[in-house]
Structure 1
Amino acid sequence: MKKVFLLIFYVLVFTASESLGRQAPLANEGKSGLYARSIERVLRLSEDEVDLATAAMIISEQWSDIVHGRRYLSELDDMALEIRARLFKKDLKTNYRAIPMINEYLFDELEFKAVSEASDPNDLFLHSVLDRKRGYCLSLSILYLSLGERLGLPLYGVVVPGHFFVKYDDGRVQFNIETTSKGGSAPDEHYMTKFNVPEEEKNSIYMKKLSKVQTLGCFLNNLGNSYCDIDDPDSALLALERAVEINPSLSESRANLGNLYLKKGRIRDAIYEYRKALEINPNDAKTYSNLGNAYTKRGWLNDAIAQYNWALKLDPNFTQAYKNLSIAYSQREQYSKAETALKEAL
């Protein structure tokens, strides 16, 4: 009989503990950002009041009329509560020890996975990631950061040229989290080498822990590209100009804005953005080539040829740069050089 009472006692204690783990408020409860209804409102908030997931859902609702953001935010809350209950059950604190459990829950149990390439614009949006359980580096990281802010974990977005990942940093323990590799960890040197991070400058955004607003700025950059993909240049322009305003030292945002300006015939503005982008990241062959295109449109053929050659110095296999170079030489009536460049392209 005594054993029966002890068993009942332990069951009651465990049930009460698990219930307590679920019922305590989440770390983001009461933040003003939860009640924001526009990106303009989000950008006026202090960093501590921003809720990244809510901001992402505002953008989702603007992208698609059928998205009801509050439903997805409730789903995120439930996921965070489930993770916290599991931590409580195993008597684990909500610190760096939570990361393996989050990874197991997200990538093994729920089977969230990375897409091989970011070709579908819908893969950017948090609602789509939750629905389809797939995304790319930025969108999976937004999911991870959204759970982190609900659990009170010190997680930060980190951007490098062409990639985005998450960093855990509580002031004592720091490590990177690669959301495209089931939450695995790689050292800073891996990212700096693989993504050709430019040498650190005082105002560089690369490899730095981003604020939530800066992370949102990276999201807006990709949003601008998504709007370009569906042929909505006006929405793309708004997103990219905001992205540059938030993160003026993110070369991708400036280069993408330059591309849009060039399409709109705003050649002077395009040249300005391309030059700024190359000041930040002088390793970007594509932007050298695009700057060459802008120079060509202005009739500055010598300058254009110089930019195409810089692009090819960085990337000798850059087919489009050879084609652009061939066109520039043809316009200068240097047909032999034009033919040589075209042969390289082929």
Structure 2
Amino acid sequence: MLVMTNHDLPDWDALAKIADDELPLLDIALLIARDEYPDLDAAGYAATVDAYADALRPQLDRDLDLPARLTAINRFLFEELGFAGNTTQYDDPRNSYLNDVLDRKLGIPISLALVQMEVTRRVGLPLDGISFPGHFLVRMPVDDGILVLDPYNKGRPVGADELRERASPHLGGQMPDDQQLLQILHPATHRVILMRMLRNLKAVYAEHGDWVRVARSADRLLKLAPDTAEAHRDRGLAYRELGHLRGAREDLARYLQLLPEADDVEAVRVALIELGSRPPRLN
């Protein structure tokens, strides 16, 4: 377990060697945000989450059953505090930076899920994430199975039929059977959650041609999982746009080593050939 004092954030270079679920989820989400906000007050935002849990704890009478406790948690987060899905500016990168989510009370499914998970775990309930196709969800074990909640929609429960319908477009239009659905609903590790957050940021910045931040997001993905093929490819392509030819060549070559049968192999090879013919940029 990574131990920090005075709420120092971890070092990016240490993360690859830490076990998936021993990665401190809140702290690394704040570490991601510090890239964009170098003066970020990590201790202050961690204290905010702690304060939410402290304020919520008295509302969770021990005699309440689990559904009633979850209702109280959702009411506190999504009604009293006012956390909500950003339905008008879903692609705003601020939806993925935890400091902005806590300040603005707006987010996308995964960032709202992270807040919900961190607060709920602090009051003693085991809430996990689900890297569900499309929108991120959360889950909690119950006596007869699992309860799935949608943090983007005020934490409401999602039944099996709706889950199948949501998954179907991502499975070629096929409805998942029970076994497939259980596999999809498997708890996401902290590493998977953090990598999905970074992929979201990378996609937003790529859409806007912000190659510096695309490269940064891909680089951070590689700090978490050094052999992530698509991160090498995307960092390489961003480096190409920025004129960092050596880095581009190294990343694209590594992508081909990791995924020699990828659908875009030919396009990447063409990019490498083109990079080899470019003169180096003088700085």
Tell me the TM-score normalized by structure 1.
Answer: 0.59
Give the match for residue 211 of structure 2: 231
8 Å contact kept, 1:240–1:257: no
Structure 1: stretches of 5+ with no match in the other structure:
1-29, 249-253, 279-287, 300-346
1:294 Cα offset (Å): 4.4
**Does structure 1 residue 32 correspond to structure 2 residue 3?**
yes
- Shift in alpha-carbon separation, 1:84–1:31, aligned structure 2, 3 A: farther
SS at match of 2:158: coil
- Alignment CA distance shift 1:113-1:37 (3 Å): same
Q: CA, structure 1 residues 294+175, in 2 after alignment: closer, same or farther (shift >3 Å)?
A: same
The structure with more radius of gyration: 1
| CA RMSD after TM alignment | 3.7
Classify 1:298/1:71 alpha carbon distance in 2 versus 1 (closer, same or farther; 3 Å).
Answer: closer
The match for 1:241 among 219, 222, 245 is 222
Structure scoring higher RCO (CA < 8 A, sep ≥ 6) equals 2
* 1:174 alignment partner, SS class: strand
- In the TM superposition, 1:67-78 aligns within 5 A as 67-78=40-51
| Cα offsets for 1:300-339 (capped at 9, x unmatched) | xxxxxxxxxxxxxxxxxxxxxxxxxxxxxxxxxxxxxxxx
How many angstroms does 1:170 deviate by? 5.0
Instruction: Report the alpha carbon displacement of residue 260 of structure 1 after superposing the two structures with TM.
Output: 4.1
Which of 152, 156, 162 is 1:184 aligned to? 156
Among 221, 225, 236, which residue is 1:261 paired with? 236
Find the aligned partners of 1:151 and 1:46 in 2 and give their Cα distance.
24
Match of 1:194 in 2: 166
- 1:273-288 to structure 2, matched below 5 A, reads none
Match of 1:63 in 2: 36
In structure 2, the residue matched to 1:164 is 136
Aligned equivalent of 1:128: 100
Cα 1:159–1:31 change in 2 (3 A) is same
SS at match of 1:167: strand
Match of 1:311 in 2: none
Counterpart of 1:80 in structure 2 is 53
Q: Secondary structure, in 3 states, of the residue corresponding to 1:32?
A: coil
5 Å-filtered alignment, 1:99-118, equals: 99-116=70-87, 117-118=89-90
Cα 1:41–1:120 change in 2 (3 A) is: same
Q: Can you list the C-alpha shifts for 1:174-198, whole angstroms capped at 9, x where unaligned?
A: 1111011111121345344324344
Deviations 1:49-86 (A, max 9, x none): 54311221122223202310110111100101111111
In the TM superposition, residue 98 of structure 1 has moved relative to its aligned partner by 2.0
Report the Cα distance in structure 2 between the residues aligned to 1:192 and 1:258, rounded to whole angstroms.
32
User: What fraction of aligned residue pairs are identical, expressed as a percent?
Assistant: 20
Q: Is residue 2:30 matched to residue 1:52?
A: no
Q: Partner of 1:221 in structure 2?
A: 199
Deviations 1:2-58 (CA, angstroms, capped at 9, x unpaired): xxxxxxxxxxxxxxxxxxxxxxxxxxxx98366553244455445665431122112
Maintained 8 Å contact 1:160/1:191: no
Contact 1:160 1:197 in 2 (8 A): no
Q: What is the number of equivalent residue pairs in this alignment?
A: 250
Correspondence for 1:147: 119
Cα separation, 2, equivalents of 1:50 and 1:170: 25
Distance, in Å, in 1 between the alignment partners of 2:254 and 2:16 is 25
TM-aligned CA deviation for residue 100 of structure 1:
0.9
- Normalization by structure 2: what TM-score? 0.71
